[in-house]
Amino acid sequence: MRAVRALPWLNRNVAAMGVTSLLSDASHETATSVLPGFLAVLGLPPAALGIIEGISDALASFVKLGSGWIGDRTGRRWRLAVAGYTMTGTMPLLLALAGSWPLVLGAKLFGWLGKGIRGPVRNAMLAESVSPEARGRAFGFHRAGDTIGAVIGPLLGVAVLG
């Protein structure tokens, strides 16, 4: 029986996915942090934000069921992940161009559709990038990037509003 060579846990894939998640989260969290003020300018009540966020989160959750299955069946995880990140990255631009609440909802749905597509396939790629013993560190690094982006995003939003 041949010994399996352990992959270093912080390899190119893990680092790239961590940085990508940091930047993606910073981008959409910046847009999300200015969204309440934008909706107020459009004359919408605060409840509109909850409705938009709730519908978007539900869509992302349901899409995750299918995207993981599609990624496993087709083997095209990288393409699905890139498409999902592209959709999520386009969302702030679409929000900036929105002039009415249906367009805000559409932009948010488009971005969160991407979020639902990318999550499961990215996680599968991340798990395949490291040895089983190193998965906790790899996923921890990824979540740390995601969390740092979630902190940076609102700070950028406040700076933009200021």
For the full predicted model, state whether its pTM sits above 0.85: yes
pLDDT digits 0-9 by tens, 16-66: 999 999 999 999 999 999 999 999 999 998 899 999 999 999 999 999 999
- Full set of structural domains in the chain with CATH: 13-30+45-161 (1.20.1250.20)
pLDDT in tens, 90-103: 999 999 999 888 99
131 pLDDT more than 80: yes
Percent residues over pLDDT 90 in the chain: 86
Encode the chain in three state secondary structure: CCCCCCCCCCCHHHHHHHHHHHHHHHHHHHHHHHHHHHHHHCCCCHHHHHHHHHHHHHHHHHHHHHHHHHHHHHCCHHHHHHHHHHHHHHHHHHHHHCCCHHHHHHHHHHHHHHHHHHHHHHHHHHHHCCCHHHHHHHHHHHHHHHHHHHHHHHHHHHHHHC
